[in-house]
Structure 1
Amino acid sequence: MTIGQRIKNRRIELNLSVDEVAERLNKNRATIYRYEKDDIKELPITVLEPLAKVLETTPADLMGWESTPNEKAGEIMNHSKEFEFPLNIRSAARDLMDLSDSDQELAINMIHSLAKKGRKANED
């Protein structure tokens, strides 16, 4: 994942618009879009630190030097072979981690609902 992708993902996670980030950094919206599209290859520390503060994270996280929660979850899934989960379950879990929080919740609720339906059918 690039720094631009991490910036955009974090902004979206916080439900911030490009305009809100631009205003807080005293930049114009085009500059923020350039950051998110990796048009600016090396962000100066004078931009990186305030940007990290606006995005409620660390400069190291934005640069990809620290694991994000989704990366940590991916690492856990990579170790899931120890638990002998079938490949399709591991793949579905990885896909689940790519969803927004609300879509993750929806998918998990659907799985619970289907499992409950299956248990009930087995009881009958």
Structure 2
Amino acid sequence: MSTQLDQVFAALADPTRRAILAMLLEDDMAVTDVADPFEMSLAAISKHLGVLTAAGLISQEKRGRVKWCKLEPDALRGASIWMQGFGQFEPVNLDAFERFLAVELPETDEADDPSGPSA
């Protein structure tokens, strides 16, 4: 499990690979279509696709003479479960924090007024 999780996070660490995953959210794509928006060689895109495939995030299938890429959303399940373990901390309630600060750090007009206390 740990090796698979390491591969997923390593694959997600690269912005090009994250962009590819976002593109594949829409639909399956041919490798050449995946490569189109990027200013890099087809060989470089193929290396990125290899990393994503090794991590299980995508699958590649040859249809005729064209290689297609498909997102494998279940591959993120392990990473998601691992990250949810950090969700035990409650989000900060900003309204409650503001009330706390108002009590602990009361604003005084005297501190803001350089002429001293008003009569």
Q: TM-score, normalised by structure 2?
A: 0.26
In our comparison, the structure showing a higher alpha carbon Rg is 2
The answer to which structure has the higher helix fraction is 1
Q: TM-score, normalised by structure 1?
A: 0.25
| Greater relative CO, 1 or 2 (CA 8 Å, sep 6+) | 2
The answer to which structure has the higher strand fraction is 2
